[in-house]
């Protein structure tokens, strides 16, 4: 490449905005005002720009502008073999990379037709790390939500507890957030010696902390006053919008893909699906969504305990166990289209694959991002609320911009 | 309900416009002509026997310049009956347009915007058809197979590894 190549040309027209406002100044009526929230606002959880049309403090309309974190996942995936896409999948929902990896690997295994041959120990390890990561993701969701609406302590407490999970997963995979641990047909490595015992210790540590969290945030009078009856998402609207995960369950539907699709070893495990019941306000309000998240942490702990028992007993560590043994050297599924979905902490994470059958690289990979579709309900449920409530409603949807923009 | 039963109901109500792709064994697809898409989706949503209330995903696909078609796939699911259907629509590459299903499933709104953003397929009847992930003044549609990156964007050189070696 020539060194004197021109990198920037100055022109007057280059100073135009690349993402102009949806509401034009000349169309505004008397009393209306456009407020721009983000993309660098801390309570937009990353880089999201909300263009808010207000009348005084009442919101008339919200237009989200996305794409500031677009990293061309789907374009990259057209050029890479199946196993090399996994690091990109990690970076979609960086708060819960294990869950994304699990669903992705499961999809490719089903295309290859090897999903029945995966040893049980591998499946239990996958579910164990995925549920640990689910707790971490919910902790960030609740912690940042509490901070958004003005409580700082829960954030610090939850970050402290999440740190334990991060360190455990670092011990497993070598990375704190973006693991590349679950491979197609296997795992990067077996669990380190002593991990199961440490899981037991951690669960015993976390149980009282969760009760403490319940008292500090969920049952707190101030928190209830702030979130009950705010941002009500009716169930029929939620389904029509395709909302999934804790947001859908907060509206009162017992719908969890771990139970519905019975994938991996979830049918062998015993856990409940918590739903929002409108205990302190209306069903489907911000409080219900956060209540569901805290209850899901309890359920994840139940799953972790059962996995640890299995990993120490029935499927215990053996000297000749190699988690990479079944990982195919050449991943070349037959020509087909395949859609796989699974329950990530945010909702229904889906991957669409098209394989040509003659090439190691997929012709197309599409990620169905739960955050994108959960966020699309925001303009609908925040019409007519106060400006301060917009932050409360947006935070309760728990979106991660890495997954929206991909 | 199996795929066969669902497609039989659709054939008896809308007429026999549908074909299936024999190659798709694991997840059968129903190929619908573009002008019948809206009627099919409406039937899927409103028929009490089918009751497809949850639109999972909309995916766009480019088959390349030689075949001259785009594909749009709708993965639709029914929560009460726990059955799936995959609708596939072939769109002409020269004049790509398709009907919007936003007034049936509101969740289609942003996913259709993404299809427009990435493939340049015009979506008729969409309430707010703008680019969603890329900036509004970006040129070209990146997920097309014949996409060429623009050389300069706002006077800034766009890095393209393929051209630079």
Q: What are phi and psi of B76, to 5 degrees?
A: -120, 145
- Report residue A6's pLDDT band, with 50, 70 and 90 as the boundaries: low
Is the full-model pTM beyond 0.95?
no
Integer Cα distance of A388 and A227 in angstroms: 11
Q: What is the pLDDT of residue A104?
A: 92
Residue B164 has what pLDDT? Answer: 44
pLDDT of residue B147: 85
Scan for tokens 């098209």, then name that residue.
A354
Q: Which residue has the higher pLDDT, A404 or B159?
A: A404
User: Measuring CA to CA, which residue among B143, B137, B153, B76 is closest to residue B116?
Assistant: B143
Q: Which A-chain residues 56-75 have CB contacts (< 8 A) with chain B?
A: 66-67, 70, 72, 74-75
Q: Closest Cα partner for A178 from A405, A402, A404? A: A402
Asked if B118's CB is within 8 angstroms of A74's CB, the reply is yes
Question: Taking a C-beta distance cutoff of 8 angstroms, is the pair B141, B120 a contact?
Answer: yes
**DSSP 8-state class, residue B36:** G
Instruction: Say how far apart CA A99 and CA A349 lie, in whole Å.
Output: 9
Of B54, B73, B155, the CB nearest to A239: B54
User: Which of B86, B105, B136 is nearest residue A242 as measured by Cβ atoms?
Assistant: B105
Q: In terms of C-beta density within 10 A (0-12 exposed, 13-18 middle, 19 or more buried), how is residue A215 classed?
A: exposed
Candidates A62, A66, A45, A43; CA nearest to A54 is A62
Q: Which domains does chain B have, with CATH numbers?
A: 3-137 (3.30.460.80)
* Residue carrying structure tokens 């997954």: A403
Chain B contact residues (CB < 8 Å to A): 23-27, 29, 53-57, 59-61, 73, 75, 79, 82, 86, 105-107, 109-111, 118, 130-138, 142-143, 152, 154-157, 164-165
Enter the tokens of residue A257.
């893909």
Residues of chain B with pLDDT under 50: 163-165
Task: Give pLDDT, residue A69.
Answer: 86
Cβ separation of A260 and B82 shorter than 8 Å?
yes
Query: For B56, which of A8, A110, A350 is closest by C-beta distance?
Result: A350
Q: Chain B within 8 Å of A350 (Cβ-Cβ)?
A: yes
Q: Does residue A7 register a pLDDT over 80? A: no
Q: Is the CB of residue A402 less than 8 Å from the CB of residue A93?
A: yes
pLDDT at A205: 92
Q: How far is CA A123 from CA A98, A183, A197, in A?
A: 13, 11, 18
Closest-CA distance, B36 to chain A, in angstroms, reads: 21
The β-bridge partners of A36 are: A51
Residue A255: which of B25, B79, B110 has the nearest Cβ?
A: B79
Percent of chain A with pLDDT over 70: 98
Which residues have C-beta within 8 Å of that of residue A16, sequence separation ≥ 6?
A: B137, B154
Structure tokens at A189: 């490595």
A75 to chain B: nearest residue by CA? B143
Query: Given an 8 Å threshold on Cβ–Cβ distance, is A337 in contact with B164?
Result: no
* Arithmetic mean of pLDDT over chain A: 87
Nearest to A156 by CA among A207, A213, A198: A213
Name the pLDDT band for A2 (thresholds 50, 70, 90): low
Summarised one tens digit per residue, pLDDT across range A269-281 is 888 999 888 888 8
Contacting residues of B for A6, CB less than 8 Å apart: 157
How far is the alpha carbon of B74 from chain A, nearest alpha carbon, in Å? 11
> In chain A, which residue's Cα lies nearest the Cα of B84?
A339
Neighbours of A347 (CB within 10 A): 26
Tens of pLDDT, residue by residue over A68-113, are 888 888 888 888 888 889 999 998 888 889 999 999 999 999 888 8
Taking an 8 Å cut-off on Cβ atoms, the answer to whether B135 and A11 are in contact is no
Cα A364 from Cα A348, distance rounded (Å): 20
- What residues in B contact A255, CB-CB < 8 Å? 79
- Name the residue facing B110 among A336, A350, A372 (closest C-beta): A372
Report chain A residues whose CB lies below 8 A from the CB of B137: 16, 18
Count of other CB atoms within 10 angstroms of residue A16: 10
The shortest C-alpha distance from B109 to chain A (Å) reads 8
Tell me the pLDDT tens digit for each residue of A294-344: 999 999 999 999 999 988 888 888 888 777 777 788 888 888 889 999 999
Helices (H), A153-285: 153-173, 195-213, 221-227, 235-241, 246-250, 257-260
Retrieve residue A314's tokens. Answer: 């029935």
Distance from CA of A228 to the nearest CA of B (A): 25
Which residues in chain B are closer than 8 Å to A348, comparing Cβ atoms? 56
The arithmetic mean of pLDDT across residues A10-34, rounded, is: 82
Q: Is the pLDDT of residue A374 over 60?
A: yes
B11–chain A nearest CA distance, Å: 23
What digits encode the pLDDT tens for the residues B95-133? Answer: 888 989 998 998 899 999 999 988 989 988 888 888 888
pLDDT number for residue B160: 67
What are the tokens at A248? 């859908």
């Amino acid at each position: 490449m020539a060194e004197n190549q021109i990198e920037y040309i100055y022109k007057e027209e280059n100073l135009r905005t690349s993402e102009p406002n949806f509401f034009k100044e000349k169309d505004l009526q008397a009393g209306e005002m456009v407020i721009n929230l983000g993309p660098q606002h801390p309570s937009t959880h990353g880089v999201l720009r909300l263009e808010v049309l207000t009348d005084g403090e009442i919101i008339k309309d919200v237009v989200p502008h996305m794409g500031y974190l677009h990293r061309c996942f789907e374009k990259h995936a057209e050029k890479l073999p199946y196993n090399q896409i996994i690091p990109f999948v990690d970076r979609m929902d960086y708060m819960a990379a294990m869950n994304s990896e699990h669903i992705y690997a499961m999809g490719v295994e089903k295309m290859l037709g090897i999903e029945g041959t995966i040893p049980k120990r591998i499946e239990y390890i996958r579910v164990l790390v995925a549920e640990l990561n689910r707790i971490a993701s919910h902790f960030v969701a609740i912690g940042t939500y509490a901070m958004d609406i003005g409580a700082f302590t829960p954030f610090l407490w939850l970050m402290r507890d999440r740190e334990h999970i991060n360190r455990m997963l670092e011990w497993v995979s070598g990375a704190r957030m973006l693991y590349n641990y679950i491979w197609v047909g296997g795992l990067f490595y077996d669990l380190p010696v002593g991990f199961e015992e440490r899981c037991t210790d951690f669960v015993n540590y976390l149980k009282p902390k969760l009760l403490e969290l319940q008292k500090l945030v969920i049952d707190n009078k101030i928190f209830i006053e702030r979130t009950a009856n705010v941002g009500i998402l009716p169930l029929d609207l939620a389904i029509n919008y395709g909302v999934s995960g804790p947001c859908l369950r907060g509206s009162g539907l017992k719908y969890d893909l771990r139970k519905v699709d019975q994938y991996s070893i979830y049918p062998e495990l015993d856990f409940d699906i918590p739903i929002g019941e409108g205990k302190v306000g209306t069903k489907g309000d911000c409080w219900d969504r956060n209540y569901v998240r805290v209850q899901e942490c309890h359920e994840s702990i139940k799953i972790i305990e059962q996995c640890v028992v299995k990993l120490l007993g029935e499927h215990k560590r053996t000297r000749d166990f190699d988690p990479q043994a079944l990982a195919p050297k050449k991943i070349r599924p037959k020509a087909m289209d395949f859609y796989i979905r699974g329950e990530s902490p945010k909702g229904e994470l889906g991957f669409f694959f098209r394989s040509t059958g003659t090439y190691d690289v997929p012709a197309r990979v599409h990620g169905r991002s739960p955050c994108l579709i959960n966020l699309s309900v925001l303009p609908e449920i925040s019409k007519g609320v106060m400006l301060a409530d917009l932050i409360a409603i947006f935070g309760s949807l728990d979106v991660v911009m890495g997954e929206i923009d991909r | 309900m199996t795929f066969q039963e669902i497609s039989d109901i659709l054939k008896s109500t809308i007429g026999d416009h549908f074909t299936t792709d024999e190659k798709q064994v694991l997840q059968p697809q129903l190929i619908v002509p573009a002008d019948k898409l809206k009627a099919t989706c409406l039937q899927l949503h409103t028929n009490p026997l089918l009751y497809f209330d949850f639109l999972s995903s909309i995916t766009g696909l480019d088959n390349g310049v030689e075949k001259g078609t785009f594909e749009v796939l709708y993965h639709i699911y029914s929560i009460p009956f726990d059955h799936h259907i995959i609708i596939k629509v072939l769109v002409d590459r020269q004049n790509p347009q398709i009907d919007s299903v936003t007034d049936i499933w509101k969740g289609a709104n942003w996913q259709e915007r993404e299809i427009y953003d990435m493939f340049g397929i015009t979506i008729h009847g969409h309430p707010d058809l703008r680019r969603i992930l890329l900036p509004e003044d970006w040129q070209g549609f990146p997920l097309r197979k014949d996409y060429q990156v623009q050389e300069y964007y706002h006077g800034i050189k766009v890095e393209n590894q393929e051209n630079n070696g």
